[in-house]
Homo-oligomer: A and B are copies of this chain.
Amino acid sequence: MGRLTGGDPSLLRRINSAVVLHALRATDCATLTEITRVTGLSRPTVEGVVEDLIAAGLVVGTAAEEGAARRQGRPARRFRFRAEAGHLLGLEIGAHRVAALLADLDGTVIGAQAREVGGTAGADERLERLRGAVAELLRRAGVPRGSLRAVGVATPGIVEADGTVRLGTALPGWTGLRLGERLSRSFRCPVLVENDANAAAVAEHWKGAATESDDVVFVLAGLSPGAGSLIGGRLHRGYGGAAGEIGALHLLGREATPETLLSTTGRPLHPLDEQAVAEVFALAREGDERARAAVDRFIRRLVHDVAALALALDPELVVIGGWAAGLDGVLEPLRSELERYCLRAPKVTLSLLGEAAVATGALRLALDHVEEQLFAVDGTVTARR
């Protein structure tokens, strides 16, 4: 039974602190009077909270006006949120590339690093490349490792709540990897592991093609397509973290796999060979007949996969991402086919973030974690239900 009780003073302090931080973060800087007005808290409460936040390093008073504030008629002392008080990492682990984004507590990106990695690299080598990219990124930005508050990691495969990859066929040695635990050894802050398509969906919603919609499916097009869904603005992971893994639908239809469909030689492409895929798309654009036929076959398959997602979930918007090259050609066929078969066809658009989507989503998940800790007024109240 949900109850509103008066009792818990430490809860109240946390709520007030979150409210003040929230207000400060929404402005450049503010006076005590302004904070009091915006938050509805009493002046002594605001003063106490701001003092605590300054002690915690999360808020700073503008030094220049400190003296002036004491003299009548001069501007009052102003306070601002110290976004630089901590940092976040968004990491992407892919078949051919590892990437890292560094941001401050406002989520503003202040540095990026990416490194290539062989498609056949094992888990140890792949993680070593990632660690190298992170070390380089922190060094260049002059950010000490201890300043990190949260690390988000996006990876192909089904991810358990504890950060273990339950199934990950796209990367060698990935199934069963305790990825969260392995990476936690490199950081003293929480490490949050998420499926790559899920992370990309979050990223497009944050600052990509889906900022205007809360009901979104992001399709990570590829030889083994995956998808991530937001329902009412929240990530839908599924009961076992496997939601959106529609790749198997091909096999069920007893039809050819994308690597066969996209082949122009009769022999299937290698499942991880994105370069070969880009070449087929490029040839098709130049008018090569066999390549065009291959791309047509691939598009029909993609339409079927996306239709399955759209019919099951009924999203407002479908965002297509993944392969950087050639995907603009899939939009029109997708739209017209979905119009034919969906009772209510979703809008379809291309990813705006492109290659950066997955790492950006990982960063957003790290930011979510920190915001929950620092600013979660709703979360705090909700948790008491």
Contacts and interface: CB of A to CB of B under 8 A. Distances in A.
A343 B238 CA distance: 12
A342 B303 CA distance: 20
Interface string A240-252: 1111111011011
Nearest to A15: B4
Contacts of A3: 19, 40, 377
Given A243-B312, A244-B312, A312-B313, 10 more contacts: A4-B4, A4-B381, A167-B344, A239-B346, A242-B311, A248-B341, A252-B307, A253-B304, A308-B308, A381-B381
Given A1-B22, A15-B4, A315 B239 contact: yes
B242 A344 contact: yes
A196 interface: no
A241 B344 CA distance: 9
Contacts of A97: none
A249 B312 CA distance: 10
Interface string A248-279: 11011100000000000000000000000000
A236 B315 CA distance: 11
A245 B313 contact: no
A23 B1 CA distance: 9
A372 interface: no
A311 B308 contact: yes
A213 to B, nearest CB: 8
A243 B314 contact: yes
Interface string A7-29: 00000000100010011000000
A314 B252 contact: no
B316 A312 contact: no
A253 B317 CA distance: 22
Interface in A283-299: none
What's the dominant secondary structure at chain A's contact region? mixed
A337 interface: yes
Interface residues of A, number: 56
Given A19-B3, A231-B231, A342 B312 contact: no
5 contacts: A215-B239, A239-B316, A241-B314, A245-B311, A246-B311
A241 B342 CA distance: 12
A242 B385 contact: no
A121 B367 CA distance: 57
A307 B249 contact: yes
A377 B2 CA distance: 6
B239 A314 contact: yes
Given A215-B238, A343-B167, A252 B312 contact: no
Contacts of A237: 314
A340 B249 CA distance: 11
B307 A342 contact: no
A72 interface: no
A150 interface: no
A359 interface: no
Contacts of A313: 236, 238, 243, 312-313
A377 B385 CA distance: 9
Nearest to A317: B239
Nearest to A12: B4
Contact of A343 (B2, B22, B158, B231): B158
A74 B222 CA distance: 77
Interface string A143-158: 0000000000000001
Contacts of A4: 4, 15, 381
Interface string A93-113: 000000000000000000000
